[in-house]
């Protein structure tokens, strides 16, 4: 099934966002409007996640002609999502996600990391609309991201570029799900905060909040220095829940480690996307790959 040609630009696409706790599907118009939306609660599903996902997609397929299926899924994964092994979806290890979805839906299917998909949406519809280079980041239960330079989302050798949660911020720090110690995700994510304090991030003390902002800021600052990027946009329940104070403190910490002159205007701000962001991102994964 071909996904190129002008005619496809006007057709809606099917979008799928696969997270650890919920799986969302939607019909997305060519201009980025969600026309129809469905959700699965992962906790209510058994070991077989694929069957209910396919049933949801087939429901959304009724009455529409689609150009393609775009998918955002938690990582890591092999290039193009041929095999996914999301750290917090233990049912799937080396799971052949792209080919299974393509076979079951009959639609040309494109898969990328969920945080990378969000970076695409940030540039198209969110706070990075006017930027050609930026870091997009999610500080939530986990920490993920995507890096756009000169208008292009960086892929890297295996398509996993942008895993900002695994930048080292504390030498010999907490053990991370990746196996290393002191990753940003093991020190500043929602699960790390719970593991360290025994409290939900919602109830975090001001000390925990400033430490989290400081570490996120230092991680971002290092990246911004290396990559010559001045704008970083952060989504996710932990960062957004900590509010303005988080963004001020993170920007201050980032500037304290990024001292070269070209980083003078470095800023860390809120994502401009609402809760439709991940689905819009999934749709853009398809648009980007089908070009
Ligand atoms: Zn790690």
Specify the pairing of strand 231-235 against strand 13-18.
unpaired
Between the CA of 287 and the centroid of ligand 1 the distance, in Å, is 30
Residue 188: other Cβ atoms inside 10 A: 30
CA 175 – ligand 1 centroid, Å: 8
Going from the Cα of 191 to the center of ligand 1, the distance in angstroms, rounded, reads 13
Structural domain boundaries of the chain? 7-114+276-290, 127-270
Q: Which of 33, 35, 37, 36 is nearest to 124 (CA)?
A: 33
User: How large is the average pLDDT for residues 196-224?
Assistant: 97
Q: What is the pLDDT of residue 67?
A: 86
How would you classify the pairing of strands 69-73 and 109-113? parallel
Q: How far is the CA of 265 from the centre of ligand 1 (A)?
A: 29
- Mean pLDDT along residues 73-94: 92
Q: What is the mean pLDDT of residues 78-93?
A: 92
pLDDT, position 9 = 52
Residue 1 has pLDDT above 50, yes or no: no
Ligand 1: centre distance to CA 102 (Å):
31
Q: What is the pLDDT of residue 76?
A: 87
Q: What average pLDDT does the segment 97-103 reach?
A: 98
Q: What is the pLDDT of residue 6?
A: 43
Contact 3, 68 (CB under 8 A): yes
- Condensed to tens digits (0 to 9), the pLDDT of residues 230-279 reads 999 999 999 999 999 999 999 999 999 999 999 999 999 999 999 999 99
Nearest one of 24, 6, 14, 7 to 275, comparing CA atoms: 24
Q: Is 157 exposed, middle or buried (0-12, 13-18, 19+ CB in 10 A)?
A: exposed
Which carries the bigger pLDDT value, residue 197 or residue 290? 197
253 to 28, 72, 215: CA distances (angstroms): 38, 31, 8
Predicted confidence band of residue 217 (pLDDT cuts 50, 70, 90): very high
Q: How far is the CA of 59 from the centre of ligand 1 (A)?
A: 37
The rounded Å distance from CA 193 to ligand 1 centre is 15
Gap from CA of 106 to ligand 1 centroid (Å): 36
pLDDT of residue 249: 98
Confidence of residue 3 (pLDDT cuts 50, 70, 90): very low
- The domain defined by 127-270 folds into Nucleotidyltransferase; domain 5 (3.30.420)
d(CA 170, ligand 1 centre) in Å? 11
CA of 111 from ligand 1 middle (Å) equals 22
Please report which confidence band the pLDDT of residue 177 belongs to, taking 50, 70 and 90 as the band edges: confident
CA of 163 to the centre of ligand 1 (A): 9
Going from the Cα of 168 to the center of ligand 1, the distance in angstroms, rounded, reads 8
Q: What is the pTM of this model?
A: 0.93
How far is ligand 1, taken at its centre, from the CA of residue 125, in Å? Answer: 30
Query: What is the 177 CA–ligand 1 centroid distance (Å)?
Result: 6
7-114+276-290, CATH topology level? Nucleotidyltransferase; domain 5 (3.30.420)
Q: Of the ranges 4-13, 101-110, 281-290, which one carries the lowest mean pLDDT score?
A: 4-13
Centre of ligand 1 from the C-alpha of residue 11, in Å: 39
% the chain with pLDDT above 90: 87
Evaluate whether 7-114+276-290 and 127-270 have a shared fold. yes
């Amino acid at each position: 099934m071909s996904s190129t040609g002008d005619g496809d630009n006007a057709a809606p696409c099917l979008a799928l966002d696969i997270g650890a706790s919920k799986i969302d599907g939607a019909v997305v118009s060519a201009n980025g409007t969600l026309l129809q939306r469905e959700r699965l609660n992962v906790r209510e599903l058994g070991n077989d996640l694929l069957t209910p996902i396919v049933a949801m997609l087939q429901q959304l397929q009724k009455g529409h002609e689609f150009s393609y299926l775009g998918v955002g899924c938690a990582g890591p994964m092999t290039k193009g999502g041929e095999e996914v092994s999301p750290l917090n979806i233990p049912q799937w290890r080396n799971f052949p996600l792209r080919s299974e979805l393509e076979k079951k839906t009959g639609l040309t299917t494109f898969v990328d990391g969920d945080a990378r998909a969000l970076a695409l949406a940030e540039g198209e519809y969110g706070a990075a609309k006017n930027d050609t280079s930026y870091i997009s980041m999610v500080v939530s239960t986990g920490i993920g991201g995507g890096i756009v330079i000169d208008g292009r989302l960086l892929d890297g050798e295996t398509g996993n570029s942008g895993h900002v949660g695994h930048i080292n911020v504390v030498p010999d720090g907490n053990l991370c799900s990746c196996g290393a110690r002191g990753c940003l995700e093991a020190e500043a994510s929602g699960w790390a905060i719970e593991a360290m304090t025994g409290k939900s991030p919602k109830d975090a003390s001001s000390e925990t909040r400033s430490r989290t902002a400081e570490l996120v800021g230092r991680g971002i600052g290092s990246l911004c220095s290396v990559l010559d990027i001045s704008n970083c946009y952060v989504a996710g329940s932990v960062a957004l829940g900590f509010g303005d104070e988080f963004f001020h403190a993170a920007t201050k910490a980032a500037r304290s480690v990024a001292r070269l002159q070209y980083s003078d205007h470095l800023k860390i701000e809120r994502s401009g996307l609402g809760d439709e962001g991940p689905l819009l991102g999934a749709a853009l994964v398809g648009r980007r790959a089908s070009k």
